[in-house]
Amino acid sequence: MNSRYLPLLATVVIFILAYAGCALQYPAILSLRVLCNLLTDNAFLGIAAVGMTFVILSGGIDLSIGAVIAFCGVFLAVILQQTSIHPLAAFALLLVITTAFGAAMGAMIHILEMPAFIVTLAGMFLARGMAFVLSIDSIPIVHPFYKLLKTAYYRMPDGGRFSLIGGVMILVFIAGAVIAQRTRFGANVYALGGGVQTARLMGVPVGRTTVMIYAFSGLLTGLSGIVFSLYTSAGYSLSAVGVELDAIAAVVIGGTLLSGGTGFVAGTFVGILIQGLIQTYITFDGSLSSWWTKILIGLLLFAFILLQKGILAVSRRGGSA
């Protein structure tokens, strides 16, 4: 088997074994009701993780995701409370803002040749600061259209509710997988992850691709912010703290190399499911602290970092041979 598929295979195997172990202890976990809740509860994180996958595939990083999601919630809450604008128009305006914000970070990374870590860290402070400028309070969103969207679901045979935001996450993952594997932009992202100089020699428009990657991440972060506001029905400046780290964890657990160039959007989806499964198990158990989620995710990250290190060593050995 090609070594680049090994992390994805390991992720799938771990998920199947973990799911089977949880089901042996709590058979109700196998119900469609639980699966639908898992998708709904992790929808905003999954959407943001798709954008993060493209960023990490290119060899970059985006630390602004959590702050931008918080800004989105506050922006929507304020604009819907203080104006008569329809939520759909507010959604469109917000997506333009977040896409432009991501594109601006991508342009700075390329033009100024600055590390993505520093630029997106600045973006994180900027977005979080703008959220506080808009409001320091938690603002409820009570618009009737929000209530309509929150109550939109498909009832499953066992009574589970496949929600609108869960469906949006699935569509985003499908679209992300198609873009990554079937488009020129996706090929350029993988090439950029293999090294800037190599990508230039291959004819990849490095500057344009970098801007597009971070613009795409900004677009999906904006969509994630909209979904998060639907999920919570509120906007709060301190919300979504650490979401960027959860997204990075899902991408790495999903088999994408932090060095870039190798990984799959489908793997990130499984990574999201693993995180959701851990949270669901803790809920079913009832005696464990929610912090065990972070502990187990940390252990998984260590395991996958070691796995990636081993795969890179094998690949280099094979290349030298």
pLDDT in tens, 89-114: 999 999 999 999 999 999 999 999 99
Which residue do the tokens 């709590």 mark? 26
Say which residue the tokens 């919630």 belong to.
Answer: 73
DSSP letters along 182-198, please? HSHHHHHHHHHHT-HHH
How high is the pLDDT of residue 286?
78
The domain in which residue 11 lies consists of 3-314
Mean pLDDT across the stretch 131-160? 90
pLDDT tens profile 232-281: 999 999 999 989 999 999 999 898 888 888 889 999 999 999 999 988 98
Is residue 102 assigned to a domain? yes
Whole-angstrom distance between the N-terminal and C-terminal Cα of the chain? 17
- Chain-centroid distance of CA 120 in Å reads 15
CATH code of residue 256:
1.10.3470
What pLDDT is recorded for position 317?
66
Please check whether residue 321 lies inside any domain of the structure: no
In a domain, 152, yes or no: yes
Evaluate whether residue 320 is within a structural domain. Answer: no
Residue 260: the pLDDT is 85
Rounded to whole angstroms, the Cα distance separating 191 from 148 reads 43
Distance, in Å, from the CA atom of 277 to the CA atom of 9, rounded to the nearest integer, reads: 18
pLDDT at 2 over 90: no
Q: Is 319 domain-assigned?
A: no
Domain contains 227: yes
The per-residue pLDDT for 265 is 95
Any domain includes 308: yes
Number of structural domains (the chain) is 1
Q: Give the model confidence (pLDDT) of 44-77 as tens digits.
A: 999 999 999 999 999 999 999 999 999 999 999 9
Position 293 scores a pLDDT of 78
Mean pLDDT within 125-150: 93
Residue 160 scores a pLDDT above 80: yes
Is residue 27 assigned to a domain?
A: yes
Torsion angle of C-alpha atoms 187, 188, 191, 195, degrees rounded to 10:
-170
Please tell me the total number of residues recorded for the chain in this structure.
Answer: 321
Average pLDDT, the chain: 90
Per-residue pLDDT, averaged over 163-188, amounts to 96
Choose among 58, 40, 4, 66: nearest CA to 216: 58
